[in-house]
Amino acid sequence: MSKAILFLEDGTHFIGESLSAQGETAGEIVFNTAMTGYQEVLTDPSYAGQIVCMTYPLIGNYGINDEDGESKKIHLKGFVVKEFCRVHSNYRATQSLIDYLDKNKIIAIEGIDTRALTRHLRMAGAMKALISTTDFDLASLKKKIAKIPSMEGSDWVKKVTTKKKYIWQEKDAPKPRFKVAAIDCGIKFNILRILTRLGCEVHVFPADATPKEIMAIKPDGLFISNGPGDPAAITYTIETVRKLFGKLPVFGICLGHQIVGLALGGQTYKLKFGHHGANHPVKDLLDNRIGITSQNHGFCVDIKTLKPKEVEMIDINLNDQTLEGIRHKQMPILSFQHHPEAAPGPHDAQYLFGYFIKMMEKNSKKK
């Protein structure tokens, strides 16, 4: 372990200690309020370009296992905790969190006041940050951080999307009833698992796939995944989705929801500090039920920019009243801001996948 500094864009800084990875890393810093699920957070492609601070004070007590990763690698830029657990205990664990971070050369910092950091980010908003184990000169760090691109306007999807189309394989999967084209903007494995277990043969496409390439497999539905960065910068996916409206039932999650909103003519805006955690209450206006949801986004669709005669709000965030779900009134289009796949997080909203299945069932009867 060695001395490390976390330096924020506004000059706020914290001194702590690093793990074995040395050097510097930079990105937008956000806080995550989940008490568990750090492995899923680390491997969630939606965190690409970000430094994540966990608000729970002790992280790593159940180690890392081979089953709970949401992608094949760690995507975030840096990791901030109050304290790393040195002794993990879980029958599924294959290694410690510290070893996992060290093997993947992730620069992490511990020993800082994460409560003070979280409170500062809530008051001042998410901002650029830098972790360094080599440079402690504040003037130098300020110059470095000024050169870091803002999350607004940045396309991180192109860095996490699959390079080639593939079909997801799942053990003991039921015989498929539907063929789903999934646009990978940073897709999580559990989304693919759930769709497959619900009877879907999932064909995963790169984010820049064309409508012609997608329609070539004759899909029964289109899914747009979660992902990192500014949704307004993903113009190629927005245009593809827009051209497929009316041809297929469409279902979007998180960034996919934002892309649907933009393709419908709406606009997005950046939230002050975003929603990152596994404890966000959302009300489903269709079934009049309230669920606790997993969320990870820094942007939001502005419901006021969508045409009320065409699009209706069907889910609302009970913390800040922001838009959480929309449905088109004429076409089979549905999208949600939160994560119904619950990785990490509660299973309260997993039934939303059933809405997509029903849309495909209804559409198949029309053929």
Q: Which residues are catalytic?
A: 254, 339, 341
Give just the sign of the alpha carbon dihedral 314, 317, 321, 324: negative
**Could you tell me whether strands 250-253 and 221-224 are parallel, antiparallel, or unpaired per DSSP bridges?**
parallel
Q: Tell me the two tokens of residue 270.
A: 């950046």
Distance, CA of 328 to chain centre: 23
CA distances from 187 to 158, 205, 223, 226, 237 (A): 12, 10, 10, 6, 14
Asked if residue 261 lies in contact with residue 306, where contact means CB atoms within 8 angstroms, the answer is yes
Pairing of strands 289-302, 323-328: unpaired
Peptide bond into 344 cis (omega under 30): yes
Q: Are strands 2-8 and 13-18 parallel, antiparallel or unpaired?
A: antiparallel
The Cα–Cα gap between 161 and 164 comes to 9
Distance between CA 84 and CA 61 in Å, rounded? 8
Gyration radius from the chain CA atoms: 20
